[in-house]
Amino acid sequence: MKILLTGSSGFIGRNLHNVLLQSEEDIKIIPVARSVGIDLEKVDINELPESDLVIHLAGKVGVLGSWDNPDVFFRSNYISTLNTIGYCRKHSASLIYVSSYMYGNPRYLPIDEKHPLSVNNPYAASKLISEELLIKYADLFGLNLTILRPFNLYGPFMPTENLIQFVFEQLRRTNCVIVRDLEPKRDYLHVEDFCKAIDKVVRRIPTGIEVYN
């Protein structure tokens, strides 16, 4: 199986690469990232090698940064996603799209996939718009699409603005931990566990359009 992995040098991509290659199945990973000279916002999709499956991780991430530069987030995440689904149409490739938390302040717990969507920051909004693009595009052209919505990932290579990373950095420097707000509650998921979930999706037969938390 040939897998085109966008955002291969990012937080999830670096962890996922190792998980995929641990399988006994014959998998070839084609990395797509600025670090390997491919900008998914500007690339000619005709120049990318053919694959059976795309795992789309590329794009701008981070809630705090999205408030400072919302235009950059909307443009980057939409255009990179549009180019990705266009590539999938060209090669009849299945797509796994890693989205984000989409539910705002929950109306009930636990949050399932039927929970009403409610985004409250530019980053999540850019991911929701990308989801809507993918769902409509996949429906119109009969593509297999799986959307995964992870909740609060942490682990190796995590971004510095991540709360757990923020706590670790303080512990390295001092014996005191200061957080911005004690009110919010979060469910955390280790990135390796999430990568194993992606790996399970990779190995099953895709069927239409599906969304999983």
Using CA atoms, how far apart are residues 17 and 160, in angstroms rounded to an integer? Answer: 21
Query: Any bridge partners for residue 153, and if so which?
Result: 189
Using CA atoms, how far apart are residues 17 and 195, in angstroms rounded to an integer? Answer: 9
Check residue 24 and give its pLDDT.
Answer: 62
Reply yes or no on whether the pLDDT at 168 is more than 70: yes
Least confident of 25-29, 142-146, 199-203, 207-211: 25-29
Contact in structure between 104 and 120 (CB atoms under 8 Å):
yes
Reply yes or no on whether the pLDDT at 23 is more than 90: no
What's phi and psi for 101, nearest 5 deg? -70, 130
The answer for 59, left when phi > 0, alpha when psi is -120 to 50, beta otherwise, is left
Per-residue b or e along 175-200, where b marks 16 or more CB atoms closer than 10 Å to that residue's CB: eeeeeeeeeeeeeeeebeebbeebbe
Delimit the domains of the chain by residue range: 2-153+190-212
Contact in structure between 51 and 20 (CB atoms under 8 Å):
no
Order of strands, edge to edge, in the sheet holding 145-148? 28-32, 2-6, 53-56, 94-98, 145-148, 209-212
Right CATH for 2-153+190-212 from 3.40.50.300, 3.40.50.720, 3.20.19.10, 3.40.190.10: 3.40.50.720
Contact in structure between 174 and 111 (CB atoms under 8 Å):
no
Give the model confidence (pLDDT) of 114-151 as tens digits.
999 999 999 999 999 999 999 999 999 999 999 999 99
Reply yes or no on whether the pLDDT at 99 is more than 90: yes
Average predicted confidence (pLDDT) for the chain: 94
Check residue 51 and give its pLDDT.
Answer: 97
Contact in structure between 145 and 94 (CB atoms under 8 Å):
yes
Check residue 144 and give its pLDDT.
Answer: 98
Q: Give the pTM.
A: 0.93
What's the whole-number mean pLDDT along residues 77-101?
98
Considering the chain, what percentage of its residues have pLDDT values greater than 90? 79
Using CA atoms, how far apart are residues 146 and 143, in angstroms rounded to an integer? Answer: 10
Check residue 7 and give its pLDDT.
Answer: 96
Q: Could you count the other beta carbons within 10 Å of the beta carbon of residue 158? A: 17
Check residue 124 and give its pLDDT.
Answer: 97
Using CA atoms, how far apart are residues 165 and 146, in angstroms rounded to an integer? Answer: 29
Using CA atoms, how far apart are residues 105 and 102, in angstroms rounded to an integer? Answer: 10
Give 182-203 as a DSSP string: SS-----EEHHHHHHHHHHHHT
